[in-house]
Structure 1
Amino acid sequence: MPGTYDDVAPLRPVEPTAEARGVDTIGSASRTGVPITVVEPERIARGGIVVLHESREFSPQLRELMKSLAFEGWIVIAPHLFDRSTDDGVREVFGEELFDDFDAGFDWLTRRGVFPDTIGVLGFDTAGTAAFLVATNRPIGAAVSVAAPGILEPLPDQDTALVDVAADLQAPWLGLFGADDPATPPEAVDRLRDATARANVASLTISYSGLGHRVDRPDPDDDAAAAIQIDSQTRIYDWFDSNLR
């Protein structure tokens, strides 16, 4: 069904542990699916891309990116990652539930007949960290991370820093960073570049000079930032085009 619409992706059933059965799990037990926004191409899909993002609302930039990827021939789905939280003060998502949401999106695509090796993941901020980790332990075709922190030190709710598992990458990975981003300093990005080079799959780590943070959020009056946005989006399209086959 071409166009944009909302759906619900069922979560994989999880057998509660004995410890979990001894605590109040009313909130988690009632969560059986994750809402998703879907953008389907007008033509027969080449594969699918799961977009992980750190926004309670879908920004115009995110929607345009999803539409652009669909125009390239991909079924694009974005789980509503904050659906699980009733606290409006929460601004970051991570932990096992984020990976559960990715798996739900992945399963939704495979039920549509999309092959696992033609499914990619695109993540921003800590969700970009999750996209990297997904590429180390999920049967996907390619991954892209934008401004992913947790390079040298693990993020909260995560046991592993990216450099420690970089050699375990199972899917080609593209990382996009701002050279002036304090969350991802150049020395950390350089170490990640070296670590991913030891993996058995292709990797490419790009640092944009003069950029403080997200390459998809340029200052509209800054021509250099706009050029970075064009370059970064072209790299994302080309990475999926080259590796999701």
Structure 2
Amino acid sequence: MRDFHEPLLQFMHELADDGWLVGAPHLFHRQPPDQYSPVFGQELFDDAEATRTWLSEHGVDADCVGIIGFDSAGTAAAHVATERAYGAAVSIAPHGIREPLTNDATPLLKVIPYLQTPWLGIFGEDDPKTPPDDVQELRNAALRAPVATLLVDYPGLAHRPDDGFGMESWHDVDDIDEFANEFSPDSSVTAAKQHIFEWFDSNLR
């Protein structure tokens, strides 16, 4: 069983504290214990649907189910959002914009216009895996989707679920000291989190 590192666990607790029921599917259950290759294609869609079924059995309406992922899992969340209609989807630092991550994946530029789920994409301007020009092209492609989309980017890499993406940064972006650098890591992670919570609130509540 794969362990989640502390910032992700803290973020799950934040979601739960805000009233959300969090389900984290074990996408790697078909692989050897020491292998964690990204999961795409039908296996991904089956696992996502199994998770939605589990949530439904625990009292969550189907249109109140959101999906979220970071890095390659963010790419996976976007793929799921194009395959089936969920309440909302969020991808943080999803790569594979121009080139597929695996043989079972498709470049995001090709699938994003077919989104069936309102989608929020969060990017860092200094992330070498998501160059700003690629993100802008993805933003243009998302405009062709029949659902609401929003792509935001921040300086640096603080938008990612690394150390610092924990409880200490959970507050409203308006609460940041007015003299603080608006491009500081704390400002970026707080704004990114606020985007996530507001996206879920507006589409799932």
Could you state the TM-score of these two structures normalised by the residue count of structure 1? 0.70
Contact 2:83 2:116 in 1 (8 A): yes
8 Å CA contact retained: 1:218, 1:225: no
Q: Aligned match of 1:234 in 187, 194, 203?
A: 194
* TM-fit CA distance, 1:173: 0.5
1:31-110 residue pairs with structure 2 within 5 A? 56-88=2-34, 90-95=35-40, 96-110=42-56
Deviation of residue 97 (structure 1)? 2.5
| Structure 2 residue 90 is the aligned partner of structure 1 residue 144 | yes
Amino acid at match of 2:122: L
SS at match of 2:21: strand
Alignment equivalent of 1:111, drawn from 40, 51, 57: 57
Q: In the alignment, which of 103, 106, 118 is matched to residue 172 of structure 1?
A: 118
Whether contact under 8 Å (1:218, 1:226) holds in the other structure is: no
What is aligned with 1:243?
A: 203
CA deviation after TM superposition for structure 1 residue 65, in Å: 0.8
Q: Hey, what does 1:160 align to over in structure 2?
A: 106
User: Which secondary structure state, in structure 2, belongs to the residue aligned with residue 108 of structure 1?
Assistant: helix
TM-superposed deviation, 1:227:
2.0
- Equivalent of 1:215, from 160, 180, 183? 160
Give the direction of change, closer, same or farther, for the CA distance of 1:205–1:214 in structure 2 (3 Å limit).
same
TM-score, scaled to structure 2: 0.83
Note the C-alpha offset of 1:87. Answer: 4.6
**Unaligned ranges ≥5, structure 1:** 1-34, 36-55
Specify the SS of the correspondent of 2:116: coil
2:150 to 204, 207, 217: 204
CA contact (8 A) 2:155 2:188 kept: no
Flag structure 2 segments of 5+ consecutive residues without an equivalent: 166-180
Q: Distance in 2 between matches of 1:159 and 1:176?
A: 20
Structure 1 runs (4+) deviating above 4 angstroms are none
Q: CA RMSD in A?
A: 2.0
Q: CA deviation at 1:218?
A: 4.8
Whose helix proportion is higher, 1 or 2?
2
The structure, 1 or 2, with the larger RCO (C-alpha pairs under 8 Å, 6+ apart) is: 2
Q: Which has the larger radius of gyration?
A: 1
